[in-house]
Amino acid sequence: GKEVLLLMQALNTLSTPEEKLAALCKKYADLLEESRNVQKQMKILQKKQAQVVKEKVHLQSEHSKAILARSKLESLCRELQRHNKTLKEENMQQAREEEERRKEATAHFQITLNEIQAQLEQHGIHNAKLRQENVELGEKLKKLIEQYALREEHIDKVFKHKELQQQLVDAKLQQTTQLIKEAEEKHQREREFLLKEATESRHKCEQMKQQEAQLKQQLSLYMDKFEEFQTTMAKSNELFTTFRQEMEKMTKKIKKLEKETIVWRTKWENNNKALLQMAEEKTVRDKEYKGFQIKLERLEKLCRALQTERNELNEKVE
């Protein structure tokens, strides 16, 4: 309304109708040019709006994909934590059982040695040599028990070290646990064999008490059995070295898996950063889109006003 009043005041300043018509034509030409420019700008803004909408749809799809990947990674991490917890509990239970069995075997060996020493002391002066040899045999057995205890401590340390390294390991860890179980079964069989040999030696010592004349012969048989025991312990050492080699291989595999886990973790963190950046860009684009919408509404209002004004001017000119 103000522009129309200003236009009417400007026309009233002119004296002749020709000048008024020329001024109206000039004003109409200016308005037509402005309308064309506004339409061009509106087309450009519409194209930009379409491009922004496409980018928005693409960002939403990328956002949904990133959320899905993050949920999968979180579920995998939870599953891995549960699996590591169960493995840790099983390993602790097995370590406690192995410790109890080792204590029982040590006590049994100590009782057997004490009984053998008591029986040999009852034979007197004639059996002094045999008693001395039996004491030496007891010392050898003690040394073997100490070696066995040291090996048990080493195995416990290895298992503890393995428990610390098994916090971020995936499904391949089941194969390593299977190998450990097989090694423990071999170790159990060797322990049972040692216990069996100890019971046999005790039985032979009782036979030595009953038949003193055949004591030397039975002792020679016992020494033969002890040599077999030493060969068995040598085999046990070989099995222990193979088990240690397998543990070193498993340690290398675990280090490799830890490196892969670190790579996946970095990828997951990068995806989260990219997701946050995309969210921030989305907010900025939404603000720009709202600003474009407001500008478009204003331009549409201005176009409608210009069209009404043009129609009124056309009617006046006609």
Q: What's the pLDDT tens digit per position in 9-60?
A: 777 787 788 887 888 888 888 888 988 999 999 999 999 999 999 998 999 8
pLDDT of res. 81:
86
**Helix (H), strand (E), coil (C) string for the chain:** CHHHHHHHHHHHHCCCHHHHHHHHHHHHHHHHHHHHHHHHHHHHHHHHHHHHHHHHHHHHHHHHHHHHHHHHHHHHHHHHHHHHHHHHHHHHHHHHHHHHHHHHHHHHHHHHHHHHHHHHHCCCCCCHHHHHHHHHHHHHHHHHHHHHHHHHHHHHHHHHHHHHHCCCCCCCHHHHHHHHHHHHHHHHHHHHHHHHHHHHHHHHHHHHHHCCCCHHHHHHHHHHHHHHHHHHHHHHHHHHHHHHHHHHHHHHHHHHHHHHHHHHHHHHHHHHHHHHHHHHHHHHHHHHHHHHHHHHHHHHHHHHHHHHHHHHHHHHHC
pLDDT of res. 258:
86
Rounded percentage of the chain residues whose pLDDT exceeds 90? 6
Q: What's the pLDDT tens digit per position in 163-175?
A: 776 676 666 667 6
pLDDT of res. 36:
92
pLDDT of res. 37:
93
pLDDT of res. 307:
86
pLDDT of res. 162:
64
Is the model's pTM score more than 0.85? no
Both tokens of 72, joined, read 């999968």
Mention every residue, 6+ apart, whose C-beta is less than 8 A from residue 45. 292, 295, 296, 299
Q: What's the pLDDT tens digit per position in 171-195?
A: 666 766 676 677 567 667 766 776 6
**Which of 87-91, 157-161, 295-299 has the weakest average pLDDT?**
157-161
Q: Is the confidence at residue 273, as pLDDT, over 60?
A: yes
pLDDT of res. 99:
85
pLDDT of res. 117:
73
Burial of 173 from C-beta contacts in 10 A (0-12 / 13-18 / 19+) = buried
